[in-house]
């Protein structure tokens, strides 16, 4: 019996010891992330003016969003725009980023220099990038102003996606080069001795080895894009010009929650509902990632 | 290596020296700081010069003008007021854009505070009042019309038009001579509605009388007179610059200021903007919105723009109210019109307008029927608001997404989902 209590005590001590390490992070996480998120979900069930709406209306805000045309159109519009935006950015940043990473890891003259400068755009502020692109695309004095890129409803969103990809492609290149550098040189040499060409080397050795990184890059792009606000703000205003064709969840939330109705605001309660939907979409995507990539790793 | 050390040392010394310069806070000790906020970040220097007049006479008070960018103004001001750190003096946009601050209980009832309130123009007082309570001092209004480049007009022997037919003919002439007639884009959602439609369209839909009928639910935007206004704006499409679909407000301004277009459909607040952008004031002319037929009375959009409220929870409420009374007086009115030509003070006082363009814009009021922007009052109280809908419909119309009729029908049908007089 004596040994049993001491065993239990040791166990408890061990748990407390571990908890002691976890507690600070847990507390900070709870107070600055978890509670606000839950509270904003709570707000989505209320209506009223000001920052803290106080009339409980149950699912009223959601019903409005999903049944009334003008609200549904906006939310659905932002959602589909976000998906398109995500697909274009993923394609550019992943595919182009991968090939560029392949290029800069080759023993070519200047490769290490290219590696370094490829990261420079990532260090710029999004506002600066947005401004730069707006100047380049300006119809009056921009060097690419021959076509109204930002005014045409089919090209506006892809243009924004290109700007974002241009800025963050350095991040993909960085992560991919790290992955490629990590592949044992013997493996590549063996392949070459066996007569593998450039494409086979990429297809059968490099790509499988860096698959986890592809997953992480895609996840980062996903979370970044579904919470993207800055580039819309910088290039096409929070109205997502032209006519909401570049409206993403971030700009939609900002406009609906914080503007007066006269400027496109829907009230804080509706804004909270929009942000809850946004949270659900992001959580869904991250969940899939965990399911696909993490489980694969465990298996 | 040696060099970089020296650079670091120099930087450190510079930082120290700077901090000493800025540490001169002692001067402010014992003084009361009144923070005022607005959405006009471009006015900091000019507002500081105006407020200096007040501080001269009230040496114990510092008036600190801290504007926020237009797009962020509502978000920032609401958040600051709700958390109790709002400015003492709050600038308010008119009608339903300023009303939420009062309804949320942040503003002082100014009905018995503003001196001579009964002598202020009634329409202006109404823009910041509800149920007999005035929560904002009607400070300034703005007018809408057309700026023109005098040199370009002179070069082609043109004179400012009086009627719409003359205006269109003038545009055709400019186009034929290879000029860009109008620096107007369709990217930003507000310029076409607030300035082009409300300013030039009012002559077609019948100005204030038509607007009142619309508010009362007796008229619809799909009525022939309003459709005419949509069509008038649409007819300007061929006079816009190449790539107008992607031309934003700042590029529009640049274009006119640098002489790349002959005209600019604008508001009176842009007088100083063009000046600050380097346009020669002597070369900038202005004419009132052309009337539909010769002999018509001008329907003039003289929009209620700036109201000034006092934060109920201000730590220096008495001083803030004292300052507001000064803002309501003649000295402020004169200073405002000197510093910010194109903002017309509502203060019932004898003030002189020194800027020639502003004087021209003001002179027109006497022979016109004043009105405000079409769907600003009441029709923008709820989502989807009239302002927002017009901001979708008009740019859409200019890129042929909607015909003028469809644009009008779109706004009307969306307003009918909530605006009570339309629902009956």
Whether the link from the prior residue into A273 is cis, omega within 30° of 0, is no
- Which residue range forms the structural domain that includes residue A139? 60-298
Q: What is the mean pLDDT of chain B?
A: 91
Task: Give the three-class secondary structure for A160.
Answer: helix
Contact between residue A215 and residue A222 where contact means Cβ atoms under 8 Å apart: no
Q: What is the pLDDT of residues A67-77, one digit of tens each?
A: 888 889 999 99
Strand-pairing partners, residue A56, are: A46
Mean pLDDT within B253-265: 95
Domain for residue A136, yes or no? yes
- Amino acid B1: pLDDT: 44
Does B5 contact chain A (CB < 8 Å)? Answer: no
Confidence of residue A166 (pLDDT cuts 50, 70, 90): very high
pLDDT at residue A2 greater than cutoff 70? no
Chain A residue with minimal CA distance to B103? A49
Chain B residue with minimal CA distance to A253? B75
- Amino acid B16: pLDDT: 61
Mean pLDDT within A61-68: 90
Q: What is the pLDDT of residues A195-216, one digit of tens each?
A: 888 889 888 999 998 988 998 8
- Amino acid B15: pLDDT: 63
**Comparison of pLDDT for B5 and B281, the residue scoring more:** B281
Mutate to test the interface with B, among A261, A266, A269, A270 (most CBs of B within 10 A): A261
**Comparison of pLDDT for B240 and B96, the residue scoring more:** B240
Does A68 contact chain B (CB < 8 Å)? Answer: yes
**Comparison of pLDDT for B231 and A105, the residue scoring more:** B231
Of residues B233, B255, B259, B257, the one with CA closest to residue B246: B255
Would you call B255 and A147 a contact, using CB atoms and an 8 Å cutoff?
no
Distance between CA atoms of A169 and A175, rounded to whole angstroms?
Answer: 10
Distance between CA atoms of B394 and B191, rounded to whole angstroms?
Answer: 9
The CA-CA-CA angle for residues A94, A97, A100, to 5°, reads 150
pLDDT at residue A299 greater than cutoff 80? no
| Candidate from A37-51, A271-285, B146-160 with smallest mean pLDDT | A37-51
Q: Is the dihedral of CA A92, A95, A99, A101 positive or negative?
A: positive
Does B400 contact chain A (CB < 8 Å)? Answer: no
Q: What is the pLDDT of residues B6-45, one digit of tens each?
A: 766 666 666 666 655 555 445 567 889 999 999 998 889 9
Domain for residue A259, yes or no? yes
pLDDT at residue A155 greater than cutoff 70? yes
Using H for helix, E for strand and C for coil, what is the string for chain B? CHHHHHHHHHHHHHHHHHHHHHCHHHHHCCCEEEEEECCCHHHHHHHHHHHHHHHHHCCCEEEEECCCCHHHHHHHHHHHHHCCCCCCEEEECCHHHCHHHHHCCCECCCCCCCCCHHHCCHHHHHCCEECCEECCEEEEEEEEEEEEEHHHHHHCCCCCCCEHHHHHHHHHHHHHCCCCCECCCCCCCCHHHHHHHHHHCHHHHCHHHHHHHHHCCCCCCCCHHHHHHHHHHHCCHHHCCCCHHHCCHHHHHHHHHCCCCCEEEEECCHHHHHHHCCCCHHHEEEECCCECCCCCCEEEEEEEEEEEEEECCCCCHHHHHHHHHHHCCHHHHHHHHHHCCCCEECCCCCCCCCCHHHHHHHHHHHHEEEECCCCCCCCCCCCCCHHHHHHHHHHHHHCCCCCHHHHHHHHHHHHCCCCHHHHC
Distance between CA atoms of B90 and B79, rounded to whole angstroms?
Answer: 13
Helix, strand and coil percent figures for chain A, each rounded to 5: 75, 0, 25
Distance between CA atoms of B110 and B125, rounded to whole angstroms?
Answer: 11
Chain A residue with minimal CA distance to B71? A238
Q: How far is CA A75 from CA A72, A152, A172, B92, in A?
A: 5, 21, 30, 29
The CA-CA-CA angle for residues B215, B219, B220, to 5°, reads 95
Does B241 contact chain A (CB < 8 Å)? Answer: yes
The CATH number of whichever domain residue A206 belongs to comes to 1.10.3720.10
**Domain count along chain A:** 1
Distance between CA atoms of B213 and B215, rounded to whole angstroms?
Answer: 5
Would you call B417 and A49 a contact, using CB atoms and an 8 Å cutoff?
no
What is the CB neighbour count within 10 angstroms for residue B225?
15
Q: Can you read off the two tokens belonging to residue B395?
A: 């740019």
* Contact list, B251 vs chain A (CB under 8 Å): 138-140
Q: What is the mean pLDDT of chain A?
A: 89
* Contact list, A54 vs chain B (CB under 8 Å): none
What is the CB neighbour count within 10 angstroms for residue B337?
23
> Between A69, A145, A236, which is nearest B243 by CB?
A145
Domain for residue A22, yes or no? no
Mean pLDDT within A57-78: 90
Does B103 contact chain A (CB < 8 Å)? Answer: yes
Does A264 contact chain B (CB < 8 Å)? Answer: yes
Backbone angles phi, psi at B393, to 5 degrees: -70, -45
Would you call A242 and B104 a contact, using CB atoms and an 8 Å cutoff?
no
* Contact list, B277 vs chain A (CB under 8 Å): none
pLDDT at residue A180 greater than cutoff 80? yes
- Amino acid A295: pLDDT: 67
A contact residues 124-183, partner B, Cβ 8 Å cutoff: 134, 137-140, 145-153
Domain for residue A109, yes or no? yes
Using H for helix, E for strand and C for coil, what is the string for A96-148? HHHHHHHHHCCCCCCHHHHHHHCCHHHHCCHHHHHHHHHHHHCCCCCCCCCCC
- Amino acid B296: pLDDT: 93
> Between A139, A149, A263, which is nearest B74 by CB?
A263
Q: How far is CA B69 from CA B38, B40, B191, B192, in A?
A: 8, 7, 17, 21
- Amino acid B65: pLDDT: 95
B contact residues 364-383, partner A, Cβ 8 Å cutoff: 376, 380-383
Q: Can you read off the two tokens belonging to residue B384?
A: 């989807």
Does B70 contact chain A (CB < 8 Å)? Answer: no
Using H for helix, E for strand and C for coil, what is the string for A168-196? HHHHHHHHHHHHHHCCCHHHHHHHHHCCC
Mean pLDDT within A76-98: 94
Confidence of residue B311 (pLDDT cuts 50, 70, 90): very high
Whose structure tokens read 């409803």?
Answer: A153
Domain for residue A101, yes or no? yes
Mutate to test the interface with B, among A258, A262, A265 (most CBs of B within 10 A): A262
- Amino acid B18: pLDDT: 60
Would you call B414 and A259 a contact, using CB atoms and an 8 Å cutoff?
no
Whose structure tokens read 């220099």?
Answer: A113
Domain for residue A216, yes or no? yes
Distance between CA atoms of B148 and B279, rounded to whole angstroms?
Answer: 11
- Amino acid B88: pLDDT: 95
Q: How far is CA A167 from CA B17, B239, B384, in A?
A: 37, 37, 35
Distance between CA atoms of A121 and A100, rounded to whole angstroms?
Answer: 15
- Amino acid A298: pLDDT: 58
Collect all residues with Cβ–Cβ distance below 8 Å to B309 and sequence separation of at least 6: B89, B90, B91, B92, B98, B101, B102, B106, B107, B108, B110, B128, B135, B136, B137
* Contact list, B384 vs chain A (CB under 8 Å): 70
pLDDT at residue B133 greater than cutoff 90? yes
The whole-model pTM stands at 0.85
- Amino acid B19: pLDDT: 59
Strand-pairing partners, residue B143, are: B302
Q: What's CA B317's distance to the chain center, in Å?
A: 28
Chain B residue with minimal CA distance to A73? B384
The upper half-sphere exposure of residue B223, i.e. CA atoms within 13 Å in the direction of its Cβ, equals 14
* Contact list, A237 vs chain B (CB under 8 Å): 71, 188-189
A contact residues 69-88, partner B, Cβ 8 Å cutoff: 69-71
The upper half-sphere exposure of residue A86, i.e. CA atoms within 13 Å in the direction of its Cβ, equals 23
Of residues B84, B40, B28, the one with CA closest to residue B65: B40
Mean pLDDT within A183-193: 89
Domain for residue A99, yes or no? yes
- Amino acid B241: pLDDT: 94
Mean pLDDT within B105-132: 92
Mutate to test the interface with A, among B246, B396, B412 (most CBs of A within 10 A): B246
Task: Give the three-class secondary structure for A238.
Answer: coil
Domain for residue A48, yes or no? no
Distance between CA atoms of A84 and A158, rounded to whole angstroms?
Answer: 8
């Amino acid at each position: 019996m004596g040994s049993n209590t001491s065993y239990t005590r040791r166990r408890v001590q061990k748990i407390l010891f571990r908890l002691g390490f976890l507690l600070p992070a847990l507390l900070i996480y709870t107070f600055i992330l978890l509670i606000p998120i839950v509270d904003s979900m709570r707000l989505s069930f209320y209506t009223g003016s000001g920052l803290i709406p106080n009339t409980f209306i149950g699912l009223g805000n959601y019903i409005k969003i999903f049944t009334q045309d003008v609200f549904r159109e906006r939310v659905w519009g932002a959602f589909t725009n976000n998906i398109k935006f995500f697909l274009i950015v993923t394609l550019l940043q992943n595919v182009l980023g991968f090939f560029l990473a392949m290029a800069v890891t080759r023993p070519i003259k200047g490769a290490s220099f290219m590696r370094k400068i490829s990261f420079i755009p990532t260090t710029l502020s999004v506002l600066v990038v947005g401004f730069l692109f707006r100047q380049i695309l300006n119809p009056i004095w921009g060097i690419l102003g021959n076509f109204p890129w930002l005014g045409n409803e089919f090209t506006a969103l892809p243009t924004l996606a290109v700007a974002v990809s241009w800025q963050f492609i350095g991040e993909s290149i960085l992560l991919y080069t790290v992955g490629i550098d990590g592949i044992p040189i013997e493996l590549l040499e063996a392949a070459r001795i066996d007569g593998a060409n450039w494409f086979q080397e990429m297809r059968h050795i490099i790509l499988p080895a860096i698959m986890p990184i592809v997953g992480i890059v895609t996840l980062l792009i996903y979370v970044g894009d579904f919470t993207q606000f800055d580039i819309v703000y910088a290039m096409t205003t929070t109205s997502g010009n032209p006519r909401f064709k570049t409206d993403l969840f971030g700009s939609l939330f900002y406009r609906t929650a914080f503007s007066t109705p006269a400027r496109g605001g829907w009230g804080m309660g509706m804004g909270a509902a929009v942000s809850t939907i946004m949270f659900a979409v992001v959580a869904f995507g991250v969940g899939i990632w965990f399911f696909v990539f993490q489980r694969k790793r465990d298996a | 290596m040696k060099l970089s050390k020296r650079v670091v040392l120099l930087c450190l010394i510079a930082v120290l020296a700077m901090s000493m310069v800025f540490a001169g806070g002692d001067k402010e000790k014992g003084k009361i700081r009144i923070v005022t906020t607005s959405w006009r970040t471009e006015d900091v220097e000019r507002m500081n010069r105006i407020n200096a007049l007040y501080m001269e006479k009230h040496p114990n008070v510092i008036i600190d003008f801290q504007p926020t960018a237009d797009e962020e103004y509502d978000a920032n001001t609401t958040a600051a007021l709700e958390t109790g750190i709002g400015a003492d003096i709050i600038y308010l946009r008119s009608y339903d854009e300023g009303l939420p601050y009062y309804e949320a209980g942040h503003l002082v009832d100014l009905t018995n505070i503003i001196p001579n309130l009964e002598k202020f123009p009634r329409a202006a007082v109404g823009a910041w009042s509800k149920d007999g309570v005035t929560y904002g001092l009607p400070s300034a209004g703005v007018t809408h019309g057309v700026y023109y480049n005098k040199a370009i007009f002179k070069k082609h022997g043109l004179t400012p038009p009086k009627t719409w037919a003359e205006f269109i003919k003038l545009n055709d002439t400019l186009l034929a001579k290879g000029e860009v007639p109008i620096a107007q884009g369709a990217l930003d959602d507000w310029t076409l509605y607030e300035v082009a439609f409300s300013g030039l369209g009012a002559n077609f839909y019948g100005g204030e009388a038509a607007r009142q009928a619309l508010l009362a639910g007796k008229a619809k935007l799909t009525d022939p007179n309003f459709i005419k206004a949509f069509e008038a704006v649409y007819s300007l499409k061929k006079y816009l610059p190449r790539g107008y679909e992607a031309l934003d407000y700042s590029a529009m301004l640049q274009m006119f200021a640098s002489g790349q277009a002959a005209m600019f459909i604008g508001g009176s607040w842009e007088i100083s903007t063009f000046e600050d952008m380097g346009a020669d004031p002597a070369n900038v002319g202005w004419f009132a919105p052309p009337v539909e037929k010769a002999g018509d009375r001008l329907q003039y959009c003289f929009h209620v723009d700036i109201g000034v409220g006092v934060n109920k929870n201000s730590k220096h409420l008495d001083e803030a109210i004292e300052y507001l009374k000064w803002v309501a007086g003649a000295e402020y009115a004169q200073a405002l019109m000197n510093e910010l030509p194109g903002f017309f003070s509502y203060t019932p006082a004898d003030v002189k307008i020194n800027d020639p363009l502003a004087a021209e814009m003001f002179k027109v009021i006497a022979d016109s029927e004043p009105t405000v922007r079409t769907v600003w009052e009441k029709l923008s109280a709820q989502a989807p608001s009239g302002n927002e809908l017009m901001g979708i419909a008009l740019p859409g119309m200019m890129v042929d997404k909607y015909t003028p009729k469809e644009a009008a029908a779109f706004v009307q049908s969306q307003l009918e989902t909530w605006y009570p007089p339309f629902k009956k």
